């Protein structure tokens, strides 16, 4: 009997910013869909009659699929001719109705696109799209139904499906909120007003980094910026070396003297004063050492914080008075004022402010103010925005216990799978290192196992688990389907969906498992109780024996994403002054010891360590995954055929129903023929009306309403140049959505900390968000 996994005290609620009803309203009528079903039944009857006669059945079927008139031959009897006449009559009537309804939906699409909140969401997502496509579309009025008009409508629908069906975390169209477990028992899930619907606008991390680098290039300021010794180097008399990276620096007596004072006197001005030389002489001595990466020179600031920009401003303000310092403070203060104005401005004002901010940024840094210009989802502006949700959740005590029981089996299966995968990674690393491997520091280990430097080695991705296809629409897998994990504490950060039942209560869906802890991070932007939020992870880290020796692998912040690991940290890559963390372990402080089972990480005293991996990518990168804490990974379950049933484990859905479709079937047709082709696929496979679709050429999934002409144009676009389409049911389904307000229903998911305790007894939690 497995130990129950325990839900943390606080969790994160993420939901779409616009109601799903808006998307649903862009579909064809139920009556038209019923008539389509009758047409396909007539088509089946026609093909059955043709096959009975045995005359060109394949050619007949292909003609119908392509929307062409089948060729009747003298040998075709009256049954085929009558069936064809009925089919053609119904098809002509249906096509006329389809054309009429599609025309009626076009103004409705424009009406949704004209909503002021939708316009602002598009502007924040991609100003280039808003300026070049959206505003022209709205100004254009009623247009002929041309291929160019359909292309624009497809682009508009692409954004609408994102805003109404994706649980993103961006501004008011992907707001953040929180929930809590309580000791109360008179309800299961209670939605209460959050009392907080504000926005926070931040400068993007890449933009702040560019500003700091520009400060570092300022000649009038460089002498007051710290020089830091790269912790990857070992300094010995006359030499500094980083053996794994093949870096070797000869040190003159003057360079050795400089290095000897930098720890206490890190700036060129301070070092020159102690050494009794000119500041220019220190800079001349330092520059070659900076070029070899032995020294790192730049403006330090706080990277893993919401106040990153402000910390750059504070760092500049702390410099001695000078013309350059004053000029940079004026630049930064001007940017700060523009950002503050932007945060509270309406769309019209924001359209004025953004170009001004971008021009000021480019003038200060010499760098373009946008990255990935014009690509859907890909614009990377110099700022980003988060917004709080009007909703907050509370779980009753009985429901919390039921949720924990429902997810325990699925998380145990994930722990067993993660352990199996990790064992494979350890064996891959063992074999790549070879039988004569010796103990080495972490950097040497990382360099030796880079895929581009390991001869004959190809690290595999996380392997799928293949099931036999049996035609069932749903299956329940045993909890020990993949074996059992070894006893001991575990942590996981799953995304959980709740699907409302018609008679009350909820089905539970384990949508995805992240091998992470709920840390203070970018998701905490509107969390008023940092200590309580952070304690969800620290309680397990402090109290569970399995947490001993867990060290956080330090990584560079990526865009807005940052995570604050509360325990010891380990630096393994250093290329900038920001990578030098005070008090962090360095690669030379730890050793990787080869064993027959795989690599083992230990500290300087020989005590076993395990890595906390802050990014999902690292969980499937064998060199790091092999050294990680026992992993909990979502098993990618697949079948050998083209259909995967909905799979449940324990009391939770583990995998949505999925179909694999050759893209060629849907890449060619257009218009009404495309609509019929999709309805044939839907009818044959048993698809629901709403599915998520991903092409073999596109990583992101798109919601496809099989009853919406605009969604079908998007589907056709995805199918072009792709080999296969992966189709997955929308679950929870539209009728199971329970997060609601006056506008309608919202898709949502819960990011929740679950822990398994070594002794089976969790530390008690406190109560009350206040």
> What residues are paired with 728 via a beta bridge?
658, 692
Please compute the mean of the pLDDT values over residues 306-318 and round it to a whole number.
97
Cα Rg of the chain, angstroms: 30
Residue 642, burial from CB neighbour count under 10 angstroms (0-12, 13-18, 19+)? middle
Angle between helices 268-275 and 279-291 (to 10 degrees): 120
Per-residue model confidence as pLDDT tens digits over 271-296: 999 999 999 999 999 999 999 999 99
Please compute the mean of the pLDDT values over residues 450-463 and round it to a whole number.
57
> What are the backbone angles phi and psi of residue 24, rounded to the nearest 5°?
-60, -30
pLDDT at residue 84 in the model? 87
Please compute the mean of the pLDDT values over residues 253-258 and round it to a whole number.
96
d(CA 587, CA 583): 13
Give every CB contact of residue 485 below 8 A, 6+ residues apart in sequence: 412, 415, 416, 418, 419, 630
pLDDT at residue 766 in the model? 52
d(CA 231, CA 234): 8
Q: Where are the domains of the chain?
A: 20-165+658-730, 202-379, 411-493+500-637
The token pair at 303 is 């990277």
With the C-alpha atoms ordered 78, 82, 85, 87, is the resulting torsion angle positive or negative?
A: negative
Share above pLDDT 90 across residues of the chain, in percent, rounded to a whole number:
80
d(CA 480, CA 649): 9
Residue 395, burial from CB neighbour count under 10 angstroms (0-12, 13-18, 19+)? buried
d(CA 770, CA 764): 18
Asked if 413 and 407 count as a contact pair (C-beta separation under 8 A), the reply is no
340 versus 617: the higher-pLDDT residue is 340
Please compute the mean of the pLDDT values over residues 55-80 and round it to a whole number.
79
Asked if 170 and 352 count as a contact pair (C-beta separation under 8 A), the reply is no
Per-residue model confidence as pLDDT tens digits over 498-523: 999 999 999 999 999 999 999 999 99
Alpha-carbon torsion angle 565, 570, 572, 578, nearest 10: 60
β pairing state of 227-229 and 295-297: antiparallel
> What are the backbone angles phi and psi of residue 511, rounded to the nearest 5°?
-75, -40
135 C-beta neighbours (distance < 10 Å), count:
15
Give every CB contact of residue 445 below 8 A, 6+ residues apart in sequence: 592, 599, 623
pLDDT at residue 50 in the model? 84
pLDDT at residue 143 in the model? 85
């Amino acid at each position: 009997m497995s130990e129950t996994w325990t839900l943390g005290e606080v969790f994160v609620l993420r939901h779409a910013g616009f109601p799903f009803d808006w998307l649903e309203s862009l579909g064809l009528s139920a009556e038209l869909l019923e008539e389509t079903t009758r047409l396909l039944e007539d088509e089946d009857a026609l093909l059955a009659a043709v096959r009975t006669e045995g005359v060109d059945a394949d050619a007949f079927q292909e003609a119908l699929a392509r929307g062409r008139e089948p060729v009747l031959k003298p040998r075709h009897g009256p049954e085929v001719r009558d069936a064809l006449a009925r089919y053609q009559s119904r098809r002509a009537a249906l096509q006329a109705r389809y054309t009429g309804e599609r025309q009626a939906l076009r103004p409705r699409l424009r009406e949704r696109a004209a909503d002021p909140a939708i316009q602002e969401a598009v502007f924040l997502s991609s100003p280039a799209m808003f300026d070049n496509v959206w505003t022209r579309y709205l100004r254009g009025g009623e247009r002929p139904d041309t291929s160019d008009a359909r292309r624009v409508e497809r682009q508009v629908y692409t954004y609408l499906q994102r805003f109404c069906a994706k649980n993103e975390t961006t501004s008011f169209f992907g707001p953040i909120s929180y929930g809590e477990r309580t000791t109360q028992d008179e309800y299961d899930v209670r939605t209460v007003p959050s009392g907080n619907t504000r926005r926070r606008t931040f400068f993007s991390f890449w933009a702040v980094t560019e500003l700091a680098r520009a400060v570092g290039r300022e000649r009038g300021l460089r002498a007051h910026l710290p020089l830091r010794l790269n912790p990857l180097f070992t300094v010995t008399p006359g030499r500094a070396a980083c053996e794994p990276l093949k870096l070797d620096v000869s040190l003159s007596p003057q360079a050795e003297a400089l290095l000897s004072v930098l720890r206490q006197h890190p700036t060129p001005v301070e070092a020159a004063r102690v050494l009794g030389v000119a500041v220019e002489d220190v800079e001349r001595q330092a520059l070659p050492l900076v070029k070899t990466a032995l020294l790192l020179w730049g403006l330090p600031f706080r990277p893993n914080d919401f106040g990153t920009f402000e910390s750059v401003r504070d760092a500049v303000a702390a410099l001695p008075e000078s013309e350059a310092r004053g000029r940079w403070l004026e630049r930064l203060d001007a940017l700060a004022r523009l950002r503050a104005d932007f945060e509270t401005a309406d769309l019209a004002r924001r359209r004025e402010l953004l170009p001004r901010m971008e021009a000021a940024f480019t003038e200060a840094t010499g760098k373009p103010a946008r990255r990935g210009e014009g690509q859907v989802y890909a614009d990377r502006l110099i700022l980003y925005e988060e917004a709080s949700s009007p909703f907050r959740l509370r779980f009753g005590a009985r429901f919390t216990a039921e949720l924990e029981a429902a997810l325990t089996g699925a998380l145990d299966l994930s722990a067993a799978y993660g352990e199996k995968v990790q064992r494979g990674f350890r064996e891959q690393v063992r074999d790549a290192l070879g039988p004569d491997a010796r103990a080495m520091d972490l950097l040497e280990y990382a360099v030796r196992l880079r895929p581009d430097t390991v001869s004959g080695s190809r690290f595999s991705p996380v392997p799928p688990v293949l099931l036999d296809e049996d035609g069932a629409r749903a299956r329940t897998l045993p909890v020990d389907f993949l074996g059992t994990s070894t006893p001991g504490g575990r942590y996981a950060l799953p995304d959980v969906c709740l699907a409302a039942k018609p008679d009350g209560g909820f089905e539970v869906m384990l949508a995805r498992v992240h091998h992470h802890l709920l840390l203070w991070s970018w998701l905490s932007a509107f969390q008023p109780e940092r200590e309580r939020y952070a304690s969800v992870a620290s309680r397990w880290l402090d109290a569970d024996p399995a947490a001993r020796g867990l060290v956080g692998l330090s990584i560079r912040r990526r865009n807005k994403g940052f995570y604050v690991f509360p325990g010891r940290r380990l630096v393994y890559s250093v290329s900038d002054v920001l990578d030098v963390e005070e008090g962090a372990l360095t690669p030379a402080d730890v050793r990787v010891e080869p064993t027959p089972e795989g690599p083992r990480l230990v500290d300087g005293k020989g005590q076993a360590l395990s890595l906390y991996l802050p990014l999902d990518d690292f969980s499937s990168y064998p060199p790091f995954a092999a050294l990680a804490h026992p992993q909990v990974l979502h098993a990618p379950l697949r079948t050998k055929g083209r259909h995967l049933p909905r799979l449940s484990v324990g009391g939770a859905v583990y995998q949505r129903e999925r179909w694999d479709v050759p893209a060629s079937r849907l890449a060619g047709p257009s218009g009404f023929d495309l609509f019929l082709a999709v309805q044939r696929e839907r009818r044959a496979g048993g698809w629901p009306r709403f599915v998520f679709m991903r092409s073999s050429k596109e990583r992101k999934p798109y919601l496809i309403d099989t009853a919406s002409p605009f969604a079908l144009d998007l589907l056709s676009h995805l199918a072009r140049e792709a080999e296969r389409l992966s189709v997955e049911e929308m679950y929870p389904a539209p009728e199971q959505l329970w997060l609601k307000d006056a506008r309608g229903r919202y898709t949502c998911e819960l990011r929740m900390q679950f822990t398994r305790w070594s002794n089976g007894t969790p530390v008690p939690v406190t109560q009350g968000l206040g």
